[in-house]
Amino acid sequence: FLGVMPAYSAADDALTTKLVTFYEHKKDSSVPSHQATILLFDPRNGSLKAVLDGSVITAKRTAAVSAIATKLLMPPFAEVLCILGAGVQAYSHYDIFTELFTFKEVRIWNRTKEKAVKFANSVNGPVQVCSSAQEAVTGADVIITVTMATTPILSGDWVKPGAHINAVGASRPDWRELDDELMKNSILFVDSREAALTESGDVILSGVRL
């Protein structure tokens, strides 16, 4: 997939667009699944002013948004963090979440266990590698889903009552991370109702109302 995200702000005198590609690598690859470039233009005449590394910015910005949501919505005295997925977003989320919050336990699961093991060995801090998503999720207070799943990998039956979920990965209308039961029994917070109803597979395919 190729995503094009243009933006203009008269107040900030800014004209820019982000180009991002989404490729699911069936085999282990050194190339990230998401790659992005940000182009900054002069809004007065359209001249290109800068080319920025959108991959770094996307990773940090997305994790920062999740951190803000978690700060406002997570249960008191949250002790267990669970990350489903072991790609670029898993690393950026781990970095900011362990910097801002204090968890007694961090768990990770990935469809390819080798990538989860690599993640656990790469980060600064103890991480428990789980053999299944259910094992990783059970009892977790904060759950982060950063996969490219097209069918649900998180079941409502596994989720602890009151747990907070940052559902990041299903950014296409035909992708899913959360099952119907979880979607229908959760309180949903979105940054844009219009965008969620046209882009979020979890919202569209579950049929929940916003």
Q: For 161-205, what is each residue's pLDDT tens digit?
A: 999 999 999 888 999 999 999 999 999 999 899 999 999 999 999
Do 63 and 89 lie in a common domain? yes
We report the CATH number of the domain holding residue 11 as: 3.30.1780.10
Q: Are residues 146 and 96 in the same domain?
A: yes
The domain of 115 spans 59-206
pLDDT tier at 210, thresholds 50, 70, 90: confident
Q: What total number of domains does the chain contain?
A: 2
Same domain as 183, residue 101: yes
- Average pLDDT of the segment spanning 9-20: 95
Tell me the average pLDDT across 107-131: 96
Pairing outcome for strands 2-9 and 14-22: antiparallel
Identify whether residues 166 and 111 lie together within a single domain.
yes
Residue 7, burial from CB neighbour count under 10 angstroms (0-12, 13-18, 19+): exposed
Indicate whether 6 and 98 sit together in one domain.
no
Residue 24 predicted with pLDDT over 80? no
Note whether 142 and 93 are same-domain residues.
yes
Q: What pLDDT was estimated at residue 27?
A: 67
